[in-house]
C-alpha cells in the first residue's frame, strides 16, 4: 500500500486531497443549434459565406464542432452529395502585417489539409496558394469550412479566404465558408462590398428563451425533468439563471456544474438560496479582483473606488 | 647639481653674505627669485618652504653647510666648519660614494658617482682627479668593493663598486651597469620584450626589430643624448654586441634586403616571424597553414588559410600561382625530379588530410591526433547536417502510426551510430582533447539526450496493426548532377542554362538532401560521376522540384508527402497507409508512394487506381503511379473516374501525354 503523505517526526499522515470525479461532457443539442445547422446547409450549394455571430459563450463554437462531427459521421464516399467539413480557430492577422490574405490562406491550408511548405508559401502568389488549397479540398472532399474567431482577421485576410472560395467555384467545387465571431465581425464584413455581397446567410445566436433554459436544466440535472415551467419554483430558477447567466448556454452549463458540486443529494432540485450563494461566491470575488486591478492601475485604494462607486 | 639645489644654495650664499651670519630657511626663501620659487613649486610636490628646508638639510648632511641648532630658529652657514674638522678627500669621497649608493640604491661606476655629485650638490670641492684617485685607493684598502667589471665603460670606468659593508643582489648589480653598450643592449631588450608580447597575442613568431626600431627605443630612454647625434654610433654598438666573444645578440641578413634585423643570440630563426624572409611561396603558405591550424585547433580548409593570408600581407604568394594551386602542389607526396619522373617528396610540409563538403582540409602533419581531429570535424559536420534534433520534433502525434514508428526507429538507428562514433573518438583521444575534440562531451550529451527522447516516444507510440521492421532500411537513391539535369533540368530556368553538370551543385547544394556517393573515387577523377563526393537524394529532389516548378497536383502531393516522410525512405512503412480505412490516411500514403517509387508500392497504387471507392483518391493515385519508378504501362482510358469533377479528366489527359518526369511534375 502506498500512502501519499509526508513523514514528520516519524508519523506518516494520509493526504485528504480528493480529485474531482470525472464526468462525461454530454452535448446538449438545442433548438438554436439545429436552426443554425439548417440555415447554413440550406444555402450550401451556392458556395456561400455565412456569418455566425453572437456573444461569447452562447454556443457558436459548440454548434460548429457538432455540425463538423455530424457531417463526418454521415459522409459516404458513394454518395455524390456527401462532403466533409472542417472547423478551425484562426490566429490574429491584423491589418498591418505583410500579405494578410496569403497568411489567411496559409492558416486555412494548415488547419484543413496540412502544413504548407515554407518555400512554396514564399514563392507562391495568393492565387497559386488558393488553387493548391482548393485541390486539397477536392482530394479530401471538404466543402464546408468553419472559420472560428474570424473577428480576429483583418479585412484583407478575409479577402484571402474569399479568393479560395472564388477559386473553388471556378473549378466547379462547392465550398461554403462560415465566419464565426463576435467582436466587430459583422461590421467588418459589411464594410467590404466584395465580402458582404457573398454573404448569403446571417445567423445571430441569441440567448436562450425560458423554455430553452428549462430544456438545458433538464438535460444537465435530471431531477428537473419531473418538473415544468408552470411550476412557480421552477420559474424562479429559470428567471434567476436568465438574469445572472445572461441566458448564455455556456455560462448556464458552467454554473449548473458548480451548483451540483454543492448538492448533498443529487436527486433533489437545488434551493434558490443555494443557487444565489453559489453565484455570489463567484461574483463577489470577481468584483473584488476587478476592483483591486483597477486600484493598482489607477493608484486608488479600494475604499476610494468603493466610495466613488467604482 | 640640480638646478633647484643650486638656486637654493645661491640664495643662501646671498642671504648669508647680507646677514654676515648663519641664516634661517625663511630668509633663504625670501631671497629666492620669484622664478626660482615657481621652479621649486613646480619641481616638488611639497610646499616651497618645506622644499628649501630639505635642500638645506641635505647639504648639511653632505657637509656643504653647517647648522646652528642652538638658536631658536635653525640657521645655516657655509663657512662654519673649522678647517681642522674637515675630512680628507679620501674620506669625503667614501662619504660621497656612500651617499650616492644610498640615494641610487645600487652600486656605482665612477661616472655615476661624478654625475651624482654634480646633480646633487655633493662635495664640489673635490675634483674628478681627486675622486678618481680616492676611489682607486679605497678599492685597494677594500673600503670599497668592486662588484662587477663592465665592458666598454670608457671614461665612466670599468669598475662597479660600493662601500664594502653594502650588500646588493645580482639583479641590482646588473641594473647598475650603464655603459653605452649596455644602454643599447637594454634598449634592444625592451623592444624585444614588447615584440615578444605582441607575437604571443597574435600567436605567431616574434618579428625581430631593425636598427631604426632600436634607435627609437634608445632615444626614448632619455640617456646618452649626445650619442645619437652620430647615427653610426648606435650601429657600431649593435655590431659590437653581436661580435664579442660572448655575444648577446645576433644580426639577421635577409636575402634581397638591406636592413639588418636583430635578435637575441639564443633565439633561433624557426621561432621568428621573418616576414618577407620566406624563401618561397610554399613557405608562406605553410606559415599561413601553421597559423590557421593554431587558431582552429586542427586541420583547416583553404578558406581559413586564406583568412590568415588576408590578415598578413607578408604571407601573400609572390608568384602568380593561386593559394589553391600552391596548396595542392605542396600537398602532393611526390615531386617531379626534373627528368620526367616523380619521386617521393622528402620533406612534406603540407598534408591533405581529407575533404568535408567538398572542401579539402590541410595540416602540417598527418599524425594520429591530426587525423582524429579531422574525423571529429567530419562527424560533427554530418551531425549538424542531419539535424536530428529538429527531425525528432517534427514527428507529430497526429501522424499515421506507421510513419511515426518508421521515422522514430530510423532516427534511433542514426543516433546509435553517432553515439558509437563519438564514443570511439572519445576513447581514442581521452587525454588530448583540443580543437574540435573539445566539443566531444557536449555532442555526446546531446546525442544521448535525443536518443532517450526517441526511445521514450517509441514506447508511447501504439503498435501498428501490421508488423513493421525494427530497423528501417536507410538506403537511399541518389542522383548525380547529370541525372538531375536529365530528370528536372528543363523545369527550371536556372538549370536549363547549365551545360556542365558540376554547375548544378551550387544551385541545389543548400536545398536538397545530399548523400555520400558510393561510386566516388577521387575529386579529380575525369568521370564527374566518380568525382562527385555526394549525390542528390532522389525523393527530396523530386519534392523540391514539385514545390518550385510543379503543377498543382504535384505541389499538393509534395505538401502531403514531405512532412509525412521526413527522411524515411523505407516503403514498408508507407504500405500500411495505402491500406488504411481512412481516406485521408490513404491520401498521404499515395503521395508518399508517388515520391518514393518502387515496384512494391506501384502495385498497390495500381490497385487503388482501379478499386479504391474514393474517386478523388483514385485521381491522386493515378498521378502518383506515373511519378513512381518501375510502373507498368497503364491505359488510363480504362479507368473509372466516376464522380471526379474536372480537372481530373485534364490530369488524365496530361498524364497520357507526359513523356518525361518533368512533364509529370508539371501536372
Q: Per-residue pLDDT for B641 more than 70? A: no
Residues of A in contact with B555 (CB under 8 A): 120, 132
Query: From B550, which residue of chain A is nearest by alpha-carbon distance?
Result: A120
> Between chains, do A172 and B563 touch, taking CB under 8 Å as contact?
no
Rounded to a whole number, what is the distance in Å from the CA of A95 to chain B's nearest CA? Answer: 28
Interface of B with A in 617-646 (CB under 8 A): 617, 619-620, 643, 645-646
Averaged over B352-366, what is the pLDDT? 88
Paired strand residues for A205: A54
Averaged over A76-93, what is the pLDDT? 92
Residues A85-95 pLDDT 10s: 999 999 888 87
Give percent of chain B above pLDDT 90: 23
Which pLDDT band, with edges at 50, 70 and 90, does B78 fall under?
confident
DSSP symbols for A59-89: SHHHHHHHHHHHHHHH--TT-TT--EEEEEE
> Between chains, do A117 and B560 touch, taking CB under 8 Å as contact?
no
Rounded to a whole number, what is the distance in Å from the CA of B305 to chain A's nearest CA? Answer: 35
Which pLDDT band, with edges at 50, 70 and 90, does B11 fall under?
confident
Interface check for B647 against chain A (CB to CB < 8 A): the answer is yes
Interface check for B555 against chain A (CB to CB < 8 A): the answer is yes
Q: Which residues of A touch B (CB under 8 A)?
A: 77-78, 80, 109, 113-117, 119-120, 123, 131-132, 135-136, 138-141, 171-173
Which pLDDT band, with edges at 50, 70 and 90, does B81 fall under?
very low
Q: Per-residue pLDDT for B12 more than 80? A: yes
Q: Per-residue pLDDT for B527 more than 70? A: yes
Mutation target vs B (from A75, A130, A139; most B CBs, 10 A cutoff): A139
Buried b (16+ CB within 10 A) or exposed e, B400-413: bbbbbbbbbbbbbe
Report phi then psi at B320, rounded to 5: -95, -10
Nearest beta carbon to residue B552 from set A114, A135, A172: A135
| Euclidean distance between CA atoms A34 and A279, whole angstroms | 30
- Pick B537 or B644 by higher pLDDT: B537
Interface check for B559 against chain A (CB to CB < 8 A): the answer is yes
| Euclidean distance between CA atoms B352 and A220, whole angstroms | 80
Neighbours of B190 (CB within 10 A): 15
* Closest to A83 (Cα-Cα) out of A161, A148, A139, A147: A139
Averaged over A154-166, what is the pLDDT? 94
Q: Per-residue pLDDT for B320 more than 70? A: yes
How big is the CA angle at B623 (ends B622 and B627), to the nearest 5 degrees?
Answer: 120
Which pLDDT band, with edges at 50, 70 and 90, does B259 fall under?
low
How big is the CA angle at B609 (ends B604 and B611), to the nearest 5 degrees?
Answer: 90
Which pLDDT band, with edges at 50, 70 and 90, does B642 fall under?
very low
> Between chains, do B645 and A138 touch, taking CB under 8 Å as contact?
yes
Interface check for B399 against chain A (CB to CB < 8 A): the answer is no
- The cell numbers describing B572, all together, are 514498408
Nearest beta carbon to residue A173 from set B558, B613, B645: B645
What's the confidence (pLDDT) of residue B576? 95
Neighbours of B7 (CB within 10 A): 21
Residues of A in contact with B617 (CB under 8 A): 139
Averaged over B103-129, what is the pLDDT? 77
> Between chains, do A171 and B647 touch, taking CB under 8 Å as contact?
yes
Nearest beta carbon to residue A114 from set B547, B553, B560: B560
| Euclidean distance between CA atoms B129 and B306, whole angstroms | 68
* pTM given for the model: 0.64
What's the confidence (pLDDT) of residue A302? 58
Averaged over A259-273, what is the pLDDT? 82
Q: What's chain B's average pLDDT?
A: 83
Query: From B557, which residue of chain A is nearest by alpha-carbon distance?
Result: A136
Rounded to a whole number, what is the distance in Å from the CA of B393 to chain A's nearest CA? Answer: 14
Rounded to a whole number, what is the distance in Å from the CA of B552 to chain A's nearest CA? Answer: 6
What's the confidence (pLDDT) of residue A10? 47
Q: What's chain A's average pLDDT?
A: 87
Put residue B159 in one of left, alpha, beta given phi > 0 → left and psi -120 to 50 → alpha: beta
> Between chains, do A119 and B617 touch, taking CB under 8 Å as contact?
no
Q: What is the ipTM of this complex?
A: 0.78
Element (H, E) at B328: helix B323-330
Residues of B in contact with A77 (CB under 8 A): 583, 613-615
Exposure of B529 by Cβ count < 10 A (0-12 exposed, 13-18 middle, 19+ buried)?
A: middle
What's the confidence (pLDDT) of residue B588? 96
What residues contact residue B353 under an 8 Å CB cut-off, 6+ apart? B299, B361, B362, B363, B366, B370, B371, B374
Averaged over B177-202, what is the pLDDT? 84
Which pLDDT band, with edges at 50, 70 and 90, does A299 fall under?
low
**Cell 586541420 sits at which residue?**
B299
| Euclidean distance between CA atoms A15 and A37, whole angstroms | 49
Which pLDDT band, with edges at 50, 70 and 90, does A163 fall under?
very high
Rounded to a whole number, what is the distance in Å from the CA of A172 to chain B's nearest CA? Answer: 7
What's the confidence (pLDDT) of residue A74? 96
Neighbours of B95 (CB within 10 A): 17
Nearest beta carbon to residue A78 from set B553, B587, B613: B613
**Beta carbons of A132 and A109 less than 8 angstroms apart:** yes
Residues of B in contact with A80 (CB under 8 A): 643
Nearest beta carbon to residue B563 from set A109, A115, A140: A115
> Between chains, do B584 and A116 touch, taking CB under 8 Å as contact?
no
- Pick B462 or A305 by higher pLDDT: B462
Nearest beta carbon to residue B584 from set A120, A135, A140: A140
3-state secondary structure A153-171: ECHHHHHHHHHHHHHHHHC
Mutation target vs A (from B616, B617, B665; most A CBs, 10 A cutoff): B616
Judged by average pLDDT, the poorest of A22-36, A265-279, B228-242, B427-441 is B427-441
Interface check for B473 against chain A (CB to CB < 8 A): the answer is no
Q: Per-residue pLDDT for A2 more than 50? A: no
Which pLDDT band, with edges at 50, 70 and 90, does A138 fall under?
very high
Averaged over A208-226, what is the pLDDT? 90
Rounded to a whole number, what is the distance in Å from the CA of B377 to chain A's nearest CA? Answer: 30
Exposure of A288 by Cβ count < 10 A (0-12 exposed, 13-18 middle, 19+ buried)?
A: exposed
Interface check for B511 against chain A (CB to CB < 8 A): the answer is yes
Query: From B549, which residue of chain A is nearest by alpha-carbon distance?
Result: A120
What's the confidence (pLDDT) of residue B432? 61
Averaged over B496-500, what is the pLDDT? 80
Neighbours of B471 (CB within 10 A): 11
What's the confidence (pLDDT) of residue B89? 75
Amino acid at each position: 500500500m502506498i500512502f501519499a503523505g509526508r513523514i514528520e517526526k516519524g508519523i506518516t499522515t494520509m493526504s485528504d486531497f480528493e480529485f474531482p470525479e470525472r464526468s462525461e461532457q454530454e452535448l446538449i443539442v438545442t433548438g438554436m443549434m439545429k436552426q443554425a445547422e439548417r440555415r447554413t446547409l440550406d444555402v450550401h450549394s451556392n458556395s456561400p459565406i455565412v456569418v455566425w455571430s453572437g456573444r461569447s459563450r452562447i454556443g457558436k463554437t459548440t454548434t460548429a464542432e457538432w455540425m463538423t462531427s455530424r457531417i463526418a459521421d454521415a459522409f459516404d464516399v458513394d454518395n455524390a452529395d456527401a462532403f466533409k467539413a472542417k472547423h478551425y480557430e484562426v490566429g490574429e492577422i491584423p491589418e498591418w502585417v505583410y500579405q494578410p490574405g496569403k497568411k489567411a490562406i496559409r492558416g486555412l491550408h494548415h488547419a484543413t489539409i496540412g502544413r504548407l511548405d515554407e518555400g512554396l508559401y514564399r514563392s507562391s502568389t495568393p492565387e497559386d496558394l488558393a488553387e493548391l488549397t482548393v485541390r486539397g479540398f477536392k482530394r479530401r472532399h471538404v466543402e464546408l469550412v468553419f472559420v472560428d474567431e474570424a473577428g480576429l482577421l483583418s479585412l484583407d485576410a478575409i479577402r484571402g479566404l474569399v479568393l479560395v472560395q472564388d477559386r473553388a467555384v471556378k473549378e466547379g467545387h462547392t465550398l461554403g465558408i462560415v465566419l464565426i465571431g463576435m467582436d466587430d465581425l459583422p461590421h467588418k464584413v459589411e464594410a467590404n462590398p466584395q465580402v458582404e455581397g457573398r454573404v448569403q446567410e446571417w445567423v445571430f445566436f441569441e440567448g436562450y428563451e425560458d423554455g430553452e433554459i428549462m430544456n438545458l436544466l433538464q438535460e444537465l440535472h435530471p431531477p428537473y425533468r419531473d418538473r415544468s415551467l408552470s411550476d412557480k419554483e421552477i420559474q424562479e430558477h429559470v428567471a434567476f439563471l436568465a438574469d445572472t447567466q445572461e441566458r448564455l448556454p455556456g455560462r448556464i452549463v458552467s454554473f449548473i456544474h458548480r451548483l451540483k458540486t454543492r448538492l448533498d443529494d443529487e436527486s433533489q432540485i437545488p434551493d434558490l438560496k443555494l443557487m444565489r450563494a453559489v453565484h455570489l461566491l463567484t461574483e463577489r470575488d470577481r468584483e473584488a479582483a476587478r476592483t483591486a486591478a483597477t486600484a493598482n492601475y489607477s493608484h486608488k485604494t479600494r475604499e476610494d473606488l468603493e466610495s466613488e462607486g467604482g | 647639481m640640480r638646478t633647484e639645489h643650486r638656486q637654493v644654495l645661491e640664495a643662501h650664499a646671498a642671504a648669508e653674505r647680507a646677514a654676515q651670519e648663519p641664516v634661517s630657511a625663511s630668509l633663504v626663501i625670501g631671497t629666492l627669485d620669484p622664478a626660482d620659487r615657481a621652479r621649486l613649486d613646480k619641481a616638488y610636490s611639497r610646499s616651497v618652504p618645506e622644499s628649501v628646508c630639505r635642500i638645506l638639510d641635505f647639504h648639511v648632511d653632505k657637509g656643504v653647510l653647517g647648522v646652528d641648532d642652538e638658536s631658536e630658529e635653525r640657521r645655516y652657514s657655509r663657512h662654519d666648519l673649522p678647517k681642522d674638522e674637515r675630512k680628507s678627500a679620501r674620506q669625503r669621497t667614501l662619504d660621497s660614494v656612500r651617499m650616492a649608493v644610498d640615494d641610487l640604491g645600487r652600486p656605482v661606476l665612477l661616472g655615476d658617482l661624478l654625475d651624482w655629485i654634480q646633480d646633487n650638490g655633493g662635495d664640489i670641492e673635490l675634483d674628478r682627479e681627486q675622486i678618481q684617485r680616492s676611489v682607486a685607493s679605497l678599492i685597494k684598502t677594500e673600503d670599497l668593493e668592486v662588484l662587477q667589471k663592465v665592458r666598454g665603460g670608457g671614461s665612466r670606468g670599468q669598475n662597479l663598486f660600493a662601500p664594502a659593508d653594502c650588500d646588493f643582489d645580482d639583479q641590482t648589480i646588473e641594473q647598475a651597469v650603464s655603459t653605452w653598450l649596455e644602454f643599447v643592449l637594454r634598449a634592444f631588450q625592451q623592444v624585444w620584450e614588447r615584440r615578444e608580447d605582441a607575437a604571443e597575442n597574435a600567436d605567431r613568431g616574434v618579428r625581430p626589430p631593425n636598427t631604426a626600431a632600436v634607435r627609437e627605443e634608445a632615444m626614448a630612454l632619455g640617456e646618452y643624448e649626445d650619442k645619437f647625434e652620430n647615427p653610426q654610433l648606435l650601429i657600431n654598438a649593435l655590431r659590437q654586441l653581436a661580435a664579442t666573444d660572448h655575444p648577446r645578440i645576433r644580426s639577421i641578413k635577409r636575402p634581397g634586403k638591406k636592413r639588418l634585423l636583430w635578435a637575441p643570440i639564443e633565439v633561433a630563426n624557426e621561432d621568428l616571424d621573418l616576414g618577407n624572409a620566406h624563401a618561397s611561396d610554399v613557405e608562406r603558405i605553410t606559415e599561413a597553414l601553421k597559423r590557421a591550424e593554431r587558431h582552429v585547433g586542427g586541420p583547416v580548409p583553404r578558406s581559413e588559410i586564406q583568412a590568415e593570408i588576408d590578415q598578413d600581407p607578408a604571407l601573400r604568394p609572390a608568384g602568380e600561382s593561386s593559394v589553391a594551386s600552391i596548396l595542392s602542389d605542396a600537398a602532393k607526396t611526390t615531386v617531379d625530379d626534373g627528368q620526367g619522373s616523380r619521386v617521393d617528396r622528402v620533406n612534406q610540409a603540407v598534408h591533405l588530410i581529407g575533404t568535408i563538403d567538398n572542401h579539402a582540409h590541410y595540416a602540417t602533419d598527418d599524425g594520429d591526433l591530426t587525423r582524429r581531429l579531422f574525423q571529429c570535424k567530419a562527424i560533427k559536420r554530418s551531425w549538424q547536417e542531419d539535424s536530428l534534433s529538429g527531425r525528432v520534433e517534427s514527428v507529430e502525434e497526429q501522424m499515421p502510426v506507421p510513419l511515426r514508428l518508421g521515422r522514430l526507429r530510423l532516427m534511433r538507428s542514426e543516433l546509435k551510430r553517432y553515439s558509437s562514433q563519438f564514443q570511439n573518438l572519445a576513447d581514442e583521444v581521452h587525454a588530448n582533447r583540443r580543437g574540435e575534440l573539445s566539443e566531444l562531451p557536449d555532442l555526446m550529451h546531446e546525442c544521448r539526450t535525443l536518443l532517450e527522447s526517441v526511445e521514450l516516444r517509441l514506447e508511447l507510440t501504439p503498435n501498428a496493426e501490421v508488423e513493421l521492421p525494427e530497423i528501417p532500411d536507410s538506403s537511399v537513391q541518389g542522383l548525380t548532377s547529370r541525372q538531375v539535369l536529365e530528370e528536372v533540368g528543363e523545369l527550371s530556368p536556372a538549370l536549363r542554362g547549365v551545360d556542365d553538370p558540376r554547375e548544378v551543385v551550387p544551385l541545389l547544394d543548400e536545398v536538397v538532401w545530399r548523400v555520400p556517393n558510393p561510386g566516388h573515387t577521387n575529386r579529380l577523377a575525369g568521370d564527374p560521376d566518380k568525382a562527385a563526393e555526394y549525390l542528390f537524394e532522389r525523393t527530396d529532389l523530386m519534392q523540391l522540384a514539385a514545390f518550385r516548378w510543379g503543377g498543382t497536383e504535384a505541389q499538393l502531393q509534395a505538401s502531403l508527402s514531405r512532412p509525412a516522410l521526413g527522411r524515411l525512405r523505407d516503403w514498408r512503412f508507407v504500405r500500411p497507409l495505402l491500406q488504411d480505412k481512412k481516406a485521408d490516411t490513404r491520401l498521404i500514403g499515395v503521395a508518399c508512394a508517388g515520391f518514393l517509387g518502387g515496384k512494391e508500392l506501384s502495385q498497390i497504387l495500381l490497385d487503388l487506381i482501379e478499386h479504391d471507392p474514393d474517386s478523388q483518391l483514385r485521381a491522386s493515385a493515378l498521378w502518383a503511379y506515373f511519378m513512381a519508378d518501375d510502373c507498368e504501362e497503364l491505359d488510363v482510358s480504362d479507368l473509372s473516374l466516376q464522380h471526379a469533377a474536372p480537372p481530373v479528366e485534364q490530369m488524365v489527359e496530361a498524364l497520357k501525354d507526359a513523356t518525361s518526369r518533368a512533364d509529370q511534375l508539371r501536372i
